[in-house]
Amino acid sequence: MRTETDCIFCRIVRGEIPSERIYENDLVIGFRDIQPRAPTHVLIIPRVHIASLSELRDADQSLAGALLLAAQAVAEQEDIVLNGYRVTTNTGAWGGQTVDHLHFHVLGGRRLTAMG
């Protein structure tokens, strides 16, 4: 069983660090990024500590689905569905991951440039 750690996102889950939560259920939390890259930039994280996408296991299928459904719900809530939005996750140092806690970025509110 995975346990909470002292990572910044686990501390947000526990309420030790303030965040602007805009979505939550029993499995995930969605909150605004403090350094937004788009008008809408929300992070979706699991309540349990999982270091990255590479750490998901077969037993995590419900959680993986909950993360993606949360991203969809946030996009609807933020009214960015009509024009489109992006959902990404960074995995590992070369993938640009800076916090070792699985998280998805929901970005929208303007035309986004191609990734590369």
Q: Could you tell me if residue 63 is inside a domain? A: yes
User: Where are the extended beta strands (E) located within 47-102?
Assistant: 85-88
Buried b or exposed e, range 5-29, using 16+ CB within 10 angstroms: eeeebbebbeeeeebeebbeeebbb
Query: Residue 116: pLDDT band by 50, 70, 90 thresholds?
Result: low
Catalytic residue ranges:
103
CATH code of residue 35: 3.30.428.10
Q: Could you tell me if residue 1 is inside a domain? A: no
Q: Could you tell me if residue 3 is inside a domain? A: no
Find the domain containing 28 and state its range. 8-108
Q: Could you tell me if residue 20 is inside a domain? A: yes
The answer to whether the pTM exceeds 0.85 is: yes
With a cut of 80, say whether residue 115 has pLDDT above it.
no
**pLDDT > 90: what percent of the chain?**
91
pLDDT value at residue 90 = 97
Q: Could you tell me if residue 113 is inside a domain? A: no
Q: Could you tell me if residue 2 is inside a domain? A: no
Q: State the total domains in the chain.
A: 1
Q: Could you tell me if residue 61 is inside a domain? A: yes
Contact 83, 27 (CB under 8 A): no
